[in-house]
């Protein structure tokens, strides 16, 4: 169950999805009536999800960008240095 692919999938989940999946996993395990093998797989999955959530909460850094319109009307986000924002005008 916890193959490398599964670990990679969890490591790439956005916070809200990871949290929702973590909650569902806990609830499924709490409901019980599962074979031991499956219970342990769920448990391992829950541990991975919990670690994903905690990692994001403690390590994330805000991305702060400025939108610019390019020729052709496409809107792109470029990094915004606060020096640029501090200048009056």
Q: Please state the separation of Cα 23 from the chain's center in Å.
A: 14
In the bound complex, what is the minimum distance in angstroms from residue 86's beta carbon to other proteins? Answer: 8
Residue 75 CA: distances (Å) to CA of 1, 65, 66, 69, 70: 42, 12, 10, 5, 6
How many residues at the interface with other proteins, by CB under 8 A? 48
Binding site for other proteins (CB under 8 A): 14-16, 19, 22-23, 25-26, 29-30, 32, 34, 36-37, 39-40, 43-44, 46-47, 50-51, 53-54, 56-58, 60-67, 69, 73, 75-77, 80, 82, 84-89
């Amino acid at each position: 169950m916890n193959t490398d692919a599964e670990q990679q999938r969890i490591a790439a989940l956005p916070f809200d999805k990871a949290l929702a999946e973590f909650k569902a996993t806990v609830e499924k395990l709490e409901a019980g009536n599962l074979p031991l093998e499956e219970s342990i797989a769920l448990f391992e999955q829950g541990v991975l999800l919990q670690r994903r959530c905690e990692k994001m909460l403690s390590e994330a850094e805000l991305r702060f960008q400025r939108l610019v319109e390019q020729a052709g009307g496409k809107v792109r986000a470029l990094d915004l240095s606060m020096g640029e924002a501090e200048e009056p005008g």
